[in-house]
């Protein structure tokens, strides 16, 4: 394996320490003429604006982000979502990138910068000026529907390193980044109403450092406040978070923009410090703000500050004179390369047991006979529902990747009989003889009412049930029909689909239905599936999907299937990965009898846009009966390789001890097939490490006591309070506190080689004020394959005066080594690395005493340690301290010569 090309920097940590307000000061010192030009231009415009014009520059409702100012020749800016691809007119412009959880799993600053440069470049070529990314919310719970968009994993330091590297990459391309969602937006369920109760110290130590780092180490253009409440106030109306901390303590000079219509009260939103009400400007209007100014509840300088910040963003990025416009994507290879590199380094190998020959199952021989199960493997790589949804124009499916890299493509067989897919599902009309199927197809009866009453208005034969009312098509592998001539679908209507199936394997069969209305499914007279059609959310609404198993059916026999479906209202989101329509599919739960003859079986499972995404949270269990199917496959062939997809983690406990290998591939992006095949066949040595803990039992998760079930936050009786009762003890911190053992620990990931750690040294055994200490050690590749190792540094206070986690991540570096090669690696730490927040003094405090510095390959595998001493108490200000040591601040900066 060859190392991925980098920008020439050490793959360890590093970037520029910019204290609060220092983005302003440093610009004034290093380029005073430019900074003064920007402020002078902003001031000249602001001084000549009427109060009406000022108010109208704090809200937007015409499709732009920052509004137009025609009087001064300023065009409105255009912002695009999101982290997995640039959305333009509900299509992906450029690459489909892996999820930000995949990026965080690389633990590689260079990959973060490369991604930022690529998506910034594609945003610019698309005609946009702003990219609404990255998100640095924490992975507090595996239920979270929007995990794919968050780069922090469960650790604030990891996010504080990776996020500014992404931001600097985006902004180096002349595109404004927007950090989100400020703050404590760790769940999607009932996100518009939930009130997060969390203490100040927990906010400071866990949930704020990612944002602080983007401000101090990337001068991020805008921060987006979220939908939820924090301690009683909506995020966009929270004066303490926006004005006291973000703009006050950190000296943030950029704009605070609302999430979509997330301001509820114009006075609270304006006074809190939100600068832009978007996208429809419902609260910051003349009608609502003028009376507040006349009455003295608001003063004009509050409005002036908002206008100044918004103008500064436009003038600073030269959008007044050089507004980029849409043009063809000249270099699609930039995004494709970033997607491939991230997938290669972000895939985490979790398990790799001995095969029938006493060797680790992976890597596979190129001539191995492989069976592939799961329609995820035969489709475009999955992305979530909502703003993270990005359908690629070009991609390499995982099945195609395996076939391309195999010695012969015929060595890779796709078992469609075990793969749920409405396009390929086989349906037959009833035959002339009992228990025999006839010609292929489904009898469809459409009713002009929502109750299946009376005679059908139209009866016809469909090739399958994959109906999309928005496109007016029914697409299947056996044919395509137009639905435009089905007149009953114009309003509320219902439909009955009757057909038969003929199993090829004796045993239970799994059925899946996805629809935008209520439905019931019978198989051989048995009610297998039922849904009331009530959406999980009234926010961004996705079609509902359920699955269920039949009783044991016999191979070769024909069984009747009936699906009844009602469409009551047009309130489901057809774009962003949603469905306006109905789909039905089925597959065998038991594998074919010859499965044991394969050298390996690759099973692709996990969450997709059908069950993961914006505005709702999901279960921890795998969807669509996948856990039982994996267990059945592993029983037939222990050389089973499970490939897990999703923005976050799903439950692996029911089958993990029975399979030969398992990999977490996240949402792997458009080059997924190439990256996965290279790893499975050993062309690339896996190097991804988990950015979050994987629970053995969901009840062990530290957040479970306060968030045991997303269903509690759905429906008419949905809960509206969420207590972050675990406090500081999120993820591995909570496991350490309880001395519990997870299924896989934070920072874990296997390789095809092995590494040895030795000779830990500190450049000084005493931490003095203002000092940075280099922690150095020797890494040796003790195996026979080249590869990367992610070395991690944790700080453990030995006799803490305050309640503190056992240990916390405070540094990491990614090192490439040839077989037998040794190299000295170094990770910097400083006083902030040892500190905790004290609310009484609003400071970061370092107590005198001893701290154990621990280094190793994961949060539970830390073979090296040394003791570091502080001789006196130290107190750091929230204004001048930085979440990152100075060398790390330097590392996350982007070399201007690397821009596209």
Write down the residue that tokens 């380094």 correspond to: 345
Write down the residue that tokens 């930039």 correspond to: 334
For residue 191, give the DSSP letter.
Answer: T
User: From residue 404, how far is each of 346, 410, 675 by CA, in Å?
Assistant: 21, 10, 12
Collapsing DSSP to helix, strand or coil, 347 comes out as coil
Domain boundaries 753-898, corresponding CATH code: 2.60.40.10
CB contact set of 322 (below 8 Å; sequence gap of 6+):
none
Q: Virtual CA dihedral for 718, 719, 724, 726, nearest 10 degrees?
A: -90
Note whether 824 and 777 are within 8 A (CB): yes
Number of Cβ within 10 Å of residue 454's Cβ equals 9
Instruction: Spell out the SS3 assignment of 464-496.
Output: CCEEECCCCEEEECCEEEECCCCHHHHCCEEEE
Provide φ and ψ at 370, rounded to 5°.
Answer: -120, 135
Note whether 613 and 388 are within 8 A (CB): yes
Collapsing DSSP to helix, strand or coil, 783 comes out as coil
Domain boundaries 25-316, corresponding CATH code: 3.20.20.300
| Burial bucket for residue 562 (CB in 10 Å: 0-12, 13-18, 19+) | middle
* pLDDT < 70: residue spans in the chain: 1-32, 432-437, 570-571
Full DSSP string of 201-243: HHIIIIISHHHHHHHHHH--SEEEE-SSEETTEEGGG-HIIII
Structure tokens at 664: 């977490």
* Cα–Cα distance, 370 to 306 (Å, whole number): 60
Pairing of strands 195-197, 229-230: parallel
Number of Cβ within 10 Å of residue 449's Cβ equals 14
Instruction: Spell out the SS3 assignment of 397-465.
Output: CHHHHHHHHCCCHHHEEECHHHCCCCCCCCCEEECCCCCCEEEECEEEEEECCCCCCCCCCEEEEECCC
* Cα–Cα distance, 4 to 18 (Å, whole number): 30
**According to the model, what pLDDT value does residue 488 have?**
80
The residues spanned by each domain of the chain are 25-316, 428-582, 753-898
Estimate the share of the chain in helix, then strand, then coil, as percent rounded to the nearest 5: 25, 25, 45
| pTM of full prediction above 0.85 | yes
Query: Tell me: domain 428-582, CATH 2.60.120.260, correct?
Result: yes
* Cα–Cα distance, 299 to 296 (Å, whole number): 6
* Cα–Cα distance, 661 to 533 (Å, whole number): 38
**According to the model, what pLDDT value does residue 437 have?**
63
Which of these, 726, 690, 716, 708, lies nearest to 858 by C-alpha position? 690
Number of Cβ within 10 Å of residue 821's Cβ equals 13
User: From residue 702, how far is each of 203, 362, 425 by CA, in Å?
Assistant: 16, 33, 41
Collapsing DSSP to helix, strand or coil, 93 comes out as strand
Provide φ and ψ at 643, rounded to 5°.
Answer: -110, 110
Give yes or no on whether 25-316 and 753-898 have one common fold: no
């Amino acid at each position: 394996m060859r190392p991925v090309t980098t920008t020439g920097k050490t793959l360890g940590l590093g970037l520029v320490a910019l204290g609060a307000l220092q983005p302003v000061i440093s610009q004034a010192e290093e380029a005073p003429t430019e900074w003064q030009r920007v402020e002078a231009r902003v001031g000249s415009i602001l001084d000549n604006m009427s109060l009406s014009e000022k108010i109208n520059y704090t809200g937007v409702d015409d499709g732009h982000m920052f509004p137009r100012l025609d009087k001064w020749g300023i065009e409105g800016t255009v912002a695009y979502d999101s982290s997995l691809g640039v959305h333009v007119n509900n299509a992906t412009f450029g690459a489909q990138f892996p999820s930000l959880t995949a990026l965080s799993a690389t633990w590689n600053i260079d990959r973060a910068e490369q991604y930022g440069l690529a998506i910034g470049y594609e945003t610019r070529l698309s005609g946009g000026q702003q990219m609404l990314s990255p998100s640095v919310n924490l992975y507090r719970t595996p239920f979270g529907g929007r995990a794919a968009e968050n780069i922090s994993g469960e650790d604030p330091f990891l996010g504080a390193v990776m996020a500014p590297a992404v931001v600097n990459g985006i902004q180096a391309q002349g595109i404004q980044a927007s950090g989100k969602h400020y703050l404590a937006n760790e769940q999607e369920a009932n996100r518009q109403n939930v009130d997060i109760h969390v203490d100040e110290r927990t906010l400071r130590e866990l949930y704020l450092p990612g944002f602080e780092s983007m401000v101090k180490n990337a001068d991020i253009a805008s921060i987006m406040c979220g939908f939820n409440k924090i301690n009683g106030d909506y995020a966009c109306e929270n004066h303490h978070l926006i004005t006291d901390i973000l703009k006050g303590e950190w000296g943030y000079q950029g704009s605070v923009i609302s999430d979509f219509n997330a301001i509820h009260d114009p006075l609270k939103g304006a006074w809190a410090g939100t600068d832009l009400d978007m996208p429809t400007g419902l609260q910051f209007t003349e009608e609502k703000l003028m009376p507040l100014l006349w009455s003295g509840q608001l003063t004009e300088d509050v409005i002036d500050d908002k206008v100044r910040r918004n103008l500064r963003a436009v003038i600073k990025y030269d959008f007044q004179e050089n507004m980029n416009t849409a043009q063809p994507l000249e270099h699609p290879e930039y995004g494709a390369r970033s997607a491939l590199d991230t997938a290669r380094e972000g895939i985490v190998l979790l398990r790799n047991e001995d095969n029938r020959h006493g060797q680790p199952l992976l890597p596979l021989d190129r001539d191995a006979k492989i069976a592939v199960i799961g329609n995820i493997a035969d489709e475009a790589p999955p992305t979530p529902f909502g703003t993270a949804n990005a359908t690629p124009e070009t991609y390499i499916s995982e099945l195609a990747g395996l076939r391309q890299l195999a010695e012969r493509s015929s060595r890779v067989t796709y078992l469609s009989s075990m793969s749920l897919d409405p396009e390929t599902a086989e349906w037959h009309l009833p035959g002339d003889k009992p228990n025999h199927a006839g010609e292929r197809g489904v009898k469809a009866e459409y009713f002009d009412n929502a109750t299946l009453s009376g005679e059908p208005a139209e009866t016809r034969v469909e090739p399958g049930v994959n109906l999309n009312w928005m496109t007016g098509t029914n697409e299947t592998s056996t044919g395509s029909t137009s639905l435009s001539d089905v007149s009953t679908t114009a309003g509320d209507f219902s439909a009955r689909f009757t057909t038969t199936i003929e199993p090829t394997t004796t045993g239970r069969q799994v059925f899946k239905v996805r629809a935008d209305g209520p439905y019931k499914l019978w198989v051989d007279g048995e009610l297998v599936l039922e849904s009331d059609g009530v959406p999980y959310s009234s926010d961004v609404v996705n079609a509902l999907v359920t699955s269920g198993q039949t009783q044991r059916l016999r191979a070769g026999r024909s069984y009747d299937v009936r699906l009844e479906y009602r469409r009551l209202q047009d309130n489901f989101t057809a774009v962003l990965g949603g469905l306006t329509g109905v789909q039905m599919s089925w597959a065998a739960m038991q594998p074919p009898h010859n499965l044991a003859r394969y050298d390996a079986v690759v099973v692709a499972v996990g969450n997709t846009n059908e069950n993961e995404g914006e505005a709702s949270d999901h279960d921890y269990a795998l969807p669509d009966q996948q856990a039982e199917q994996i267990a059945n496959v592993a029983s037939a062939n222990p050389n089973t390789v499970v490939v897990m997809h999703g923005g976050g983690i799903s439950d692996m406990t029911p089958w993990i001890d029975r399979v030969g290998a398992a990999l977490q591939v996240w949402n792997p992006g458009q080059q997924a097939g190439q990256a996965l095949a290279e790893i499975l066949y050993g062309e690339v040595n896996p190097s991804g490490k988990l950015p979050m803990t994987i629970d053995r039992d969901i009840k062990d998760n530290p957040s479970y006591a306060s968030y045991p079930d997303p269903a509690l936050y759905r429906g008419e009786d949905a809960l509206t309070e969420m207590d972050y009762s675990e406090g500081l003890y999120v993820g591995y911190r909570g496991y350490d506190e309880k001395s519990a053992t997870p299924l896989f620990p934070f920072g874990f990931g296997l390789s095809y080689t092995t590494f040895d750690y030795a000779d830990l040294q500190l450049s000084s055994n005493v931490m003095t004020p203002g000092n940075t200490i280099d922690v150095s050690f020797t890494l040796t590749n003790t195996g026979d394959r080249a590869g990367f190792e992610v070395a991690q540094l944790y700080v453990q206070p030995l006799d803490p005066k305050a309640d503190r986690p056992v240990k916390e991540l405070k540094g990491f570096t990614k090192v490439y080594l040839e077989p037998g090669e040794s190299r000295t690696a170094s990770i910097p730490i400083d006083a902030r690395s040892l500190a905790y927040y004290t609310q009484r003094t609003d400071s970061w405090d370092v107590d005198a005493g001893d701290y154990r510095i621990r280094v190793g390959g994961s949060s539970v595998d830390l073979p090296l340690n040394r003791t570091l001493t502080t001789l006196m108490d130290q107190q750091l200000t929230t204004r001048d301290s930085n979440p990152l040591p100075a060398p790390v601040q330097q590392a996350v900066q982007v070399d201007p010569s690397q821009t596209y």
